Amino acid sequence: MTSEDINYNVIIETGESGIDANVILCIFGDENTTTNLALRTTKDGSDAKFDANSILEFDLKAIDVGKIKKINIGHDGGEGTDQHWFLKSIQIEKKDEHYTFTANRWLSTDKDDKKTFIDLLADEKKTPPLSPVPKKDQATYTITVVTSSEEDAGTKSGVLMTIFGDKDSTKQFQLTNTKQDDKALFESGKTNEFEMELDDVGSINKINIGLDGTGVHPTWHLKSVQIQKGSENYNFSAKKILNESTPFIDLTPTPARKTPSPEPVKPEKARSHTSEQKIPPIKETAYKILICTSSEQKDIINEDANFYITIYGQKDQTKKLYLKHAIISDKKNLFKKDDKTEFEFKTIDVGKISKIALGQDDSENELVWHVDNVTIKRTNETITFNAEQTIGRNSEIELLPSAIPKKTEITYKILIRTGTSQEEGNDSNLYLIIYGKNGQTKKILLNETTKTNKDSSVKKNDKVEYEFKINDVGKIAKIVLSQNPNEQTLSWDIDNITIKRNNETTTFNVERKIEKDDEVELTPSPILKKTETPRKASKTVDTTSKLVAKTKGKH
């Protein structure tokens, strides 16, 4: 929020049919226009659900547009989706001005004029505002945080917390101002006390606490947390180190100690156990998330990018899980074209997974990530999500499970025959991609596969054999050979290549050198060329074999 931003109180009334797509609002005035405002979180901090016959209230912050002239509102549930929203009305209050916009129409690709976004002018007739969404009961929480006394236990990062109870949960909040106005927070061996006015969650059964990753030392050794709410005291023993790989943890309380009631209470058998004792511990599970980056990826993305995933299930949903905080299988290939990376998180068990959201928080860089697909593994469940979408700055996509069988893997045997001009050297820089009727392989560095005579160098008139196991692309249609232009290596002089998969043998006549800037595309040759005799000039080239050479720097 900038110094020029103001508050807009927005109330949206849905009619006979709701929607679960993203709803977006833009406000036009006589002085300015807001950006597109995504209506995702209501005024009370809960997720916006535009259910049938619902009224939702939002507290938005945006630039002052002056006198409001019109609004544009709609949703991103496009063609082919079951998203039919009947919008009744919108009311907007800014400063002392009140505006009503009557819609009473469908926003759907199948109904009325098949529009999902519409412009609305304010009603001329003054109408009383809708009743705002009732405010939740508030409670005062005194939160005491103890940092371990071990060396380097403190942190300069911001500390965030969410409180969960048997009636409700708070929105995530930051622990900033202590009761004593401490200037130094979360230092080694220190105790900090905070007093917060928050939604009344009832009896507390869990908290989530962690770091926002800012500061020069995003590591924190948390000893314990105590929360006093009314007459109830809750103790949370942590003794955990929070860092970039585990930035947040869930903590459950030890049995609460209540202050004595001023009036005698008759003993009841049911009260021999506190409510906290009856609540089962929060169940956590490990999620292994394999994300494949598309072949269309162009931007170079570093590991600190603010990409996240949220997992939704039948029982619950996770918070935003930032990929940079996960246990990452291979940071070398992170977000790279035609590559995949596994991210591992341990967090709340959401039950059977129903959907996921992938997004990127607002950042200074205009990064775009092309995501091909996502696979999530947990316990005995494996779910695939086809994406084939891009995630830009400050954007989010939702994905539903895809009914696609797991790709089968088979063994490929590659035989490369070198020519008479082959210089002697190592084979550390030759890449191969195989294309077939069922798809393509990733870019394979042949030197990292199983090789016959692994330690021997490449020579002229030589045979070099490789073997690897990868997804079955079906009948082979073409291959692409290339080298990394940033690496110094020998030039390959290749006569032909033979690939064996199952009972199929495919031969490609090459008859050329491959330099470090080349990318060579080959289609199969119908006849296996004899290589026992030295290759002659270009007169012997098999014209039935298609060959296309490209220079990487030109595309």
Q: Is residue 382 part of a domain?
A: yes
- Side-chain-side CA neighbours of 202 within 13 Å: the count stands at 9
Domain boundary among 339, 366, 399: 399
Q: What integer pLDDT is reported at residue 389 of this predicted model?
A: 85
Cα separation, 372 vs 390, in Å, equals 9
Using the 3D structure, point to which of 368, 399, 430 is the last residue of a domain: 399
Residue 481 belongs to domain spanning: 409-529+539-554
Let me know whether 389 and 415 are in one domain.
no
- Do residue 413 and residue 466 come from a single domain? yes
pLDDT at position 168, please? 86
Q: Are 464 and 546 found together in one domain?
A: yes
Does position 62 have pLDDT exceeding 80, yes or no?
A: yes
Question: Does the residue 457 lie in any domain?
Answer: yes
Euclidean distance between CA atoms 468 and 208, whole angstroms: 45
Residue 262's pLDDT is 39
Q: What is the model's pLDDT at position 343?
A: 93
Instruction: Report if residue 109 sits inside a domain.
Output: yes
**Are 48 and 185 in a shared domain?**
no
Q: Is 308 exposed, middle or buried (0-12, 13-18, 19+ CB in 10 A)?
A: buried
d(CA 189, CA 276): 29
pLDDT at 281 over 70: no
In the prediction, which pLDDT does 231 show? 87
- Report whether pLDDT(43) > 50: yes
Do 472 and 549 reside in the same domain of the chain? yes
Is residue 128 a part of any domain in this protein?
no
Both 418 and 549 in one domain: the answer is yes
Is the same domain home to 423 and 513? Answer: yes
For residue 270, what pLDDT is reported?
38
pLDDT for position 408: 65
Residue 403: per-residue pLDDT: 61
Do 380 and 288 share a structural domain?
yes
* Interval 174-201: pLDDT, tens: 888 777 777 778 988 899 999 888 889 9
253 pLDDT more than 70: yes
Residue 278 belongs to a domain: no
What confidence category does residue 527 fall into, taking pLDDT thresholds of 50, 70 and 90?
Answer: low
The tokens of 508 are what? Answer: 């490609």
d(CA 397, CA 389): 8
Mapped onto helix, strand or coil, the DSSP state of residue 417 is: strand
Is the model more confident about 2 or about 82?
A: 82
Residue 11, domain CATH = 2.60.60.20
What b-and-e string marks burial along 324-333, b requiring 16 or more CB atoms within 10 Å of the CB? Answer: bbbebeeeee
Percentage of the chain exceeding pLDDT 70: 82
> In the predicted model, is pLDDT for residue 336 greater than 90?
no
- Supply the pLDDT for residue 263: 41
Residue 354: which of 406, 404, 311 has the closest Cα? Answer: 311
92 and 162 within one domain: no
pLDDT at residue 407 tops 70:
no
Q: pLDDT tens across 262-271, in order? A: 344 344 333 3
Residue 478 half-sphere exposure toward CB, CA atoms < 13 A: 10
Tokens 């996509």 found at: 397
Q: How far apart are CA 185 and CA 288, in angstroms?
A: 34
Structural domain contains residue 274: no
State whether 213 and 297 are in the same domain.
Answer: no
Residue 509 has pLDDT above 70, yes or no: yes
pLDDT tens per residue across span 303-320: 888 899 999 888 888 888
Please, which pLDDT band fits residue 92 given cuts at 50, 70 and 90?
very high
189 backbone φψ class: left, alpha, beta (φ>0; ψ -120 to 50): left
Confirm whether 149 is domain-assigned: yes
DSSP string for residues in 351-382 = SSEEEEEEEE---SS---EEEEEEEEEETTEE
Give domain status of residue 264, yes or no. Answer: no
pLDDT at 77: 74
If asked whether residues 301 and 247 sit together in one domain, one would say no
Place 541 in a pLDDT band, splitting at 50, 70 and 90: very low
Number of domains the chain is built from: 4
Mean pLDDT (the chain) is 80
Kindly state the tokens that stand for 331: 């940071």
Instruction: Please indicate, yes or no, whether residues 431 and 305 belong to a single structural domain of this protein.
Output: no
More reliable by pLDDT, 533 or 33: 33
Question: Considering 77, 94, 121, which residue would you say is the last residue of a domain?
Answer: 121
